[in-house]
Amino acid sequence: MKNSAFCLVIALAAGSCLGAARPAEYQKAVRGEKSLISYCTFDSGDASDSVGRHHGKVVGKGARFDAGLVGKAINFTAKTALVEFGYVPEFAFKDGSGTIEVLINHSGYSGGTNYVFAQRSGWAKDSMRYGFSMTKLDTMDVVSRGVRPNFARCRVILTQNQWHHLAVVYSGGGFVQAYLDGNKLPITGRAPLEKGADKHTFHLGAPNAKPDWECWSGKFDELAIYGDALDEKTIVQHAKLAGCARPLAKKPAARAAPKQTVKYDAKPLSDALADLSTAFGDKYPDAKEYAAELKALDALTDAADRLAKFDHLDGIEQKFRKAIDSGRKLYDKDVPPPPAL
């Protein structure tokens, strides 16, 4: 069952998905969707549309066609290439609904914004109707851009060099949901389809036609665009047929720092304390010496703070604290203010 909305489904690939992919069944399921507008499988070694006339063109350098999860995939070996589809009215989801579905694989995040897809031209306001990007290894952004950008943010771990099934669904005039490997992603924020920005070109792997800025590094396979919003049951089934149905990855728990065991020879410290106590009993008419002793007190305080981290050095720490207290009292009561330094 489908809703009257637009759905974009993309599959990302790096390595293998969980379970065995069933390529023939996957492609049959995609082709069986009545609202399918365009289906770029990359199996023929180009970005042609296998069900219509919306063919893509590879722009830039560093793109090749390698083995994919389902047949062949386009592989952007450097962030210097994209696939441009030109202006396709059906890709604008003018009724506010649709789905983009694709298999994706990132080979390395090198900072900045790595775009999966976008319908955008140039940099002016109203320049982006919609877009989807990776801005960190654990963050995906759904974007539209009018006078100011609108973001819907998904916090999810995108495992490097592993195939993933991605579906982005629009309904009722804006982004409503994204799915990764059959899982509904937690979303914060909104990204409505930008009004007045429905005549821009569609790009895979970049935000616009410039192949050297914010481009994707890795593979894409089985790009399908639908005129309706695919329902969750259909998306989960596609993820299973792609062999990508798996729980979302979680950030590894932070490891507790191991308890440090450090042994010190107490005699040098005791000698230093004795020397310092003797020094505190003197008067300091010389401004440089006065400043040096104040610096010594600060250093001693820092040393005491460091010693406080080790339970078995409590005794030495207390000696440091005592020397600090006595020294500061001497400065407060017995030592006249020093001349200006």
Q: How confident is the model at residue 13 (pLDDT cuts 50, 70, 90)?
A: very low
pTM above 0.85, yes or no: no
Q: How confident is the model at residue 211 (pLDDT cuts 50, 70, 90)?
A: low
Q: What is the structure's pLDDT at 114? A: 85
Q: What is the structure's pLDDT at 12? A: 43
Q: Judging by DSSP bridges, how do beta strands 174-180 and 72-76 pair with one another?
A: unpaired
Q: Any idea what DSSP says for residue 168?
A: E
* Exposed e or buried b per residue across 13-47, where buried means at least 16 C-beta atoms within 10 angstroms of its C-beta: bbeebbeebebeebbebbeebebbbbbbbbbeeeb
> Measured between alpha carbons, how far is 84 from 89 in angstroms, rounded to an integer?
14
Q: How confident is the model at residue 123 (pLDDT cuts 50, 70, 90)?
A: low
**Please, what is the angle between helix 287-307 and helix 314-333, to 10°?**
150
Domain ranges, ordered by start, for the chain: 2-241, 266-333
Q: What is the structure's pLDDT at 180? A: 93
Fold of 2-241: Jelly Rolls (2.60.120)
Q: What is the structure's pLDDT at 8? A: 47
Which residue type, as a one-letter code, is found at position 41? T
Phi/psi class of residue 305: alpha, beta or left (left: φ > 0; alpha: ψ in -120 to 50)? alpha
Structure tokens at 182: 């059959």
